Amino acid sequence: MDTSAFRQKFRSEKIPRNYSGLFHLILNFSFLVFSTLLALSQVFELKVWEIMAIPVTLVLGNLVVFTLHRYPLHRPMPFFGFSYKIHTKWHHRFFTDEKLVFDLTRDFFIVFFPTWIVLGFVFLVLPGIYLLLSPIFSANYVFLTMAMGSFYFLSYEVVHFASHLPEDHFLIKIRFFKFMRDYHKIHHNPKLMRDCNFNIVFPFFDIIFNTYLSPRKQNASSNISS
Ligand SMILES: [Zn+2]
Ligand SMILES: [Zn+2]
């Protein structure tokens, strides 16, 4: 079945009739913006060392995304059947490197995280981080970690969404988004999706673990072959 036929079938069988892509977008973004701001509002009289929570959380967030994306999202594993299905069987069949752009706002259903995952993050993971870190670190460090964790999730949703926008969209004129889109496009090649470019926000752990395939090299080799 080609991508267009899969999209038609998916829309009629999997996307609920009353689904609104814009509502999905607003809901996910609102929860993540709100939890970022709420955690930030608890930070008072920040000490210099507490700022370390920002780079540490960005790096750990990058590692978490890399690991989840490389393993449970792309390999069938016990307890993670749902994530493999949603990501590999649905997202990667709906979007390939040759057909990377969504057609309708209804397609946001398979672009953004299901809202129940965002709710689980806000109401379970963030309190879990609080309980885990509070006995060890200062309140400012803990709340800054929670704020940056939410912000990282939000950044994932933004950059991943931008990666599925048309190439002539005004956001893709910005070099960073253009680069991340080209990098994610390689990951959507069905032959490469299990091997490379698992990061979404910035390609740090792909470089560390040698799974980084540069869009520049890919463009160069496709120019030579064409
Ligand atoms: Zn994607
Ligand atoms: Zn993937």
Would you state the pLDDT for residue 220? Answer: 61
What is the Å distance from ligand 2's center to 152 Cα?
18
Would you state the pLDDT for residue 43? Answer: 97
Position of tokens 């994530």? 83
Report whether 185 contacts 193 (CB < 8 A): no
Neighbours of 16 (CB within 10 A): 8
Domain count across the chain: 1
Give the whole-number percent of the chain exceeding pLDDT 90: 92
Q: Which-ligand-closest: CA of 159? A: 1
What is the Å distance from ligand 1's center to 98 Cα?
12
Q: What is the pTM of this model?
A: 0.94
For residue 211, the number of C-alpha atoms closer than 13 Å in the C-beta half-sphere is 21
What is the Å distance from ligand 2's center to 196 Cα?
9
Q: Which residues contact 122 (CB under 8 A, 6 or more apart)?
A: 31, 32, 35, 150
Would you state the pLDDT for residue 223? Answer: 54
What is the Å distance from ligand 2's center to 73 Cα?
7
153-169 in b/e form (b: 16+ CB < 10 A) is bbbbbbbbbbbbbeeee
Q: Give the structural domain span for 216.
A: 3-225
pLDDT exceeds cutoff 80 at 218: no
| pLDDT tens digits along 61-90 | 999 999 999 999 999 988 888 899 999 999
Would you state the pLDDT for residue 226? Answer: 43
Would you state the pLDDT for residue 167? Answer: 96
pLDDT exceeds cutoff 80 at 162: yes
Would you state the pLDDT for residue 219? Answer: 64
Would you state the pLDDT for residue 80? Answer: 80
Q: Which residues contact 195 (CB under 8 A, 6 or more apart)?
A: 211
- Here the tokens at position 15 are 């996307």
Would you state the pLDDT for residue 225? Answer: 47
3-state helix, strand, coil in the chain (%, to 5): 65, 0, 30
Would you state the pLDDT for residue 216? Answer: 83
Give the whole-number percent of the chain exceeding pLDDT 70: 96
Give the DSSP letter of residue 114. Answer: P
What is the Å distance from ligand 1's center to 101 Cα?
9
Q: Closest Cα partner for 198 from 180, 184, 219?
A: 184
What is the Å distance from ligand 2's center to 194 Cα?
7
Report whether 204 contacts 62 (CB < 8 A): yes
Report whether 165 contacts 181 (CB < 8 A): yes
| pLDDT tens digits along 92-140 | 999 999 999 999 999 999 999 999 999 999 999 999 999 999 999 999 9
**Alpha-carbon distance 120 to 115, whole Å?**
9
Q: Which-ligand-closest: CA of 87? A: 2
Q: Which-ligand-closest: CA of 107? A: 1
Per the DSSP assignment, residues forming a β-bridge with 99 are 96
Q: How much is the mean pLDDT over the chain?
A: 95
